[in-house]
Amino acid sequence: MSTLVRIAGPATRGFLVGAWMLGAVAVAGFALAPAVQAEPQQVSQAVFDHYTPASEAYKKHDFATALKDGKDALAAAKTPYEKEICLQLIYGASASSRDYNTAIDAGEQLVALPSVPAATKLQIQKSLGQMYANTNKLDKAIATTKDIIKVTGGSPADWELLASIYGAQKDCANALPALEKALGGRPASESQLNVQSSCYYKAHDTEKRITVNEELLKRFPKAIYFSQLSVIYQTEKKLEDLALLELLRFGYDRDFLTQDTEYSKLADLCLDVGTTAEAQRVLEKGIAKKLLKNADKIARLLDQAKTRAVEDKKTLEQLDAEARAGKNGESDVKVGQRYLSFGDYAKAVEAIQRGLQPDRAAKIKRPDDANMVLGIALTKVKKSADAAKAFAVAKGDPRMAPAARIWANAT
């Protein structure tokens, strides 16, 4: 016995497979419907009896019931049309419930059916490519996505999927060109920047890796990206001590320091330039975070910082008065550093700006660092525009450019 039915395709519109791997793209929505028929199709009662409750369950998002009844309907299906509508329902229900293996099997059968239109097959293949990736069938995901690209030229989403899979396989030779096509001049996402960083690390391309990691820190400020940059700069000997001091000051300011060596090195550098109270704060914070390991060394360093900070506090006003009376910009900058050390940022700004005046600036040994410290002090007194100008001047010196960029990017 046959029953004449007009069956709308299962409600697979807007189906999202979801994210795969870290930061990968989501499956694009697709719409499936049975092929338009010149004449109404006959569906057997056996199929209809299972298909109807399956379709109703699907509309209610009861995907488990829809899948069970859909499979029963498929088992009774005889004609290509019956198989097509049953497979569509199974495909939609299994994909919606994240049963990717079942969805893949149904999708592959749908693609093989002659009755399914080419445009619909292409939509199915696009989603299959991402479900292959979801289930770690990466070779199939690559092959399917490449087939789609051959037919369509590739959408940004197609290239992005391909780049993500190649990135997961650490196949940088294919990942980077695919990612370039995916972006088409648009800014890379956090996950895409991480793919680039990983590939440049593998290729020992330090300069490109620095550029990518600076962008990561600028757009997605996290301790991990600061640490990566800090390690690159120090292992590649890219920064001299003054620039490293300003880099570590940034990490401390943003609470990005996570290593014993970062805190101890910053404290050492602070003592070197005479910001003894700053060194004390750094060490005390490292101790409070239980990050500093060499207790004896740290105790000696902290005692030195405290003793010198007390003396510096006593003589600061006298040094300021002497610097004002003279015309030596270097003295003004040193006074500004001291005020910065004690957290008196307004006075630090005034002293350094005084030292940078034309009649005083000639004697400043490192104008780049003077502008860096000025920029940091200006950020503390909420003068971002002036701070940006100071950092811009500091960037003009190659020795300070990396640290100045990082501060400027965050201003």
Residues 22-42, mean pLDDT to the nearest whole number: 41
309 and 207 in a common domain: no
Token pair in block for residue 201: 């690390």
Nearest to 132 by CA among 141, 124, 123: 141
Task: Sort residue 18 into left (φ over 0), alpha (ψ -120 to 50) or beta.
Answer: left
CB of 268 within 8 A of CB of 242? no
User: Residue 379, Cα to own-chain centre: how many angstroms?
Assistant: 25
Token pair in block for residue 391: 């950092």
Of 185, 211, 238, the position where a domain reaches its end is 238
Indicate if the pLDDT at residue 383 is higher than 90: yes
Indicate if the pLDDT at residue 141 is higher than 80: yes
- Residue 304: burial class (beta carbons within 10 Å; 0-12, 13-18, 19+): middle
Indicate if the pLDDT at residue 4 is higher than 50: no
pLDDT in tens, 115-124: 899 999 999 9
Give a yes or no: residue 148 inside a domain: no
Report the alpha-carbon distance of residue 317 to residue 357 in Å, rounded: 21
209 and 100 in a common domain: no
Give a yes or no: residue 140 inside a domain: no
CB of 305 within 8 A of CB of 276? yes
129 and 251 in a common domain: no
Report the alpha-carbon distance of residue 65 to residue 138 in Å, rounded: 30
pLDDT band, residue 168 (cuts 50/70/90): confident
pLDDT in tens, 186-238: 999 998 999 999 999 999 999 999 999 999 999 999 999 999 999 999 887 77
Check residue 16 and give its pLDDT: 24
Give a yes or no: residue 141 inside a domain: no
126 and 65 in a common domain: yes
356 and 282 in a common domain: yes
Indicate if the pLDDT at residue 26 is higher than 70: no
165 and 124 in a common domain: no
Check residue 152 and give its pLDDT: 92
CB of 313 within 8 A of CB of 342? yes
Check residue 23 and give its pLDDT: 29
Number of H helices, E strands in the chain: 20, 2
Nearest to 135 by CA among 110, 100, 163, 171: 100
Q: Which residue has the higher pLDDT, 34 or 173?
A: 173
Indicate if the pLDDT at residue 28 is higher than 50: no
Indicate if the pLDDT at residue 160 is higher than 60: yes
pLDDT band, residue 25 (cuts 50/70/90): very low
Report the alpha-carbon distance of residue 105 to residue 115 in Å, rounded: 17
Indicate if the pLDDT at residue 19 is higher than 80: no
Check residue 182 and give its pLDDT: 93
CATH number at residue 169: 1.25.40
CB of 92 within 8 A of CB of 58? yes
Q: How high does pLDDT run on average in the chain?
A: 88
Report the alpha-carbon distance of residue 328 to residue 355 in Å, rounded: 7
396 and 274 in a common domain: yes
Q: Which residue has the higher pLDDT, 153 or 28?
A: 153
Give a yes or no: residue 146 inside a domain: no
Q: CB atoms < 10 A from the CB of 334, how many?
A: 20
Token pair in block for residue 85: 């509508």
Check residue 211 and give its pLDDT: 95
Structurally, the chain folds into a number of domains equal to 3
Q: Which residue has the higher pLDDT, 42 or 263?
A: 263
Which stretches does DSSP call E strand in 146-300?
none
Percent of the chain at pLDDT > 90 equals 82
Check residue 14 and give its pLDDT: 26
Residues 6+ apart with CB under 8 A from 131: 17, 27, 95, 100, 103, 104, 107
Query: What range does the domain containing 366 cover?
Result: 239-409
Indicate if the pLDDT at residue 37 is higher than 50: no
Residues 6+ apart with CB under 8 A from 173: none
Check residue 40 and give its pLDDT: 57
58-95 b/e with 16+ CB inside 10 Å = b? beeebbeebbbbbbbbbebbeeebbbbbbbbbbbbbbb
pLDDT in tens, 302-360: 999 999 999 999 999 999 999 999 999 999 999 999 999 999 999 999 999 999 999 99
Indicate if the pLDDT at residue 27 is higher than 70: no
Give a yes or no: residue 374 inside a domain: yes
Of 238, 255, 287, the position where a domain reaches its end is 238
Check residue 29 and give its pLDDT: 35
193 and 319 in a common domain: no
Residues 25-36, mean pLDDT to the nearest whole number: 37
Distances in Å between the Cα of 101 and the Cα atoms of 11, 66, 85, 90, 370 are 20, 16, 19, 11, 62
Report the alpha-carbon distance of residue 20 to residue 77 in Å, rounded: 34
Check residue 42 and give its pLDDT: 82
- Residue 130: burial class (beta carbons within 10 Å; 0-12, 13-18, 19+): buried
281 and 228 in a common domain: no
CA triple 242-244-246, angle to 5 deg: 75
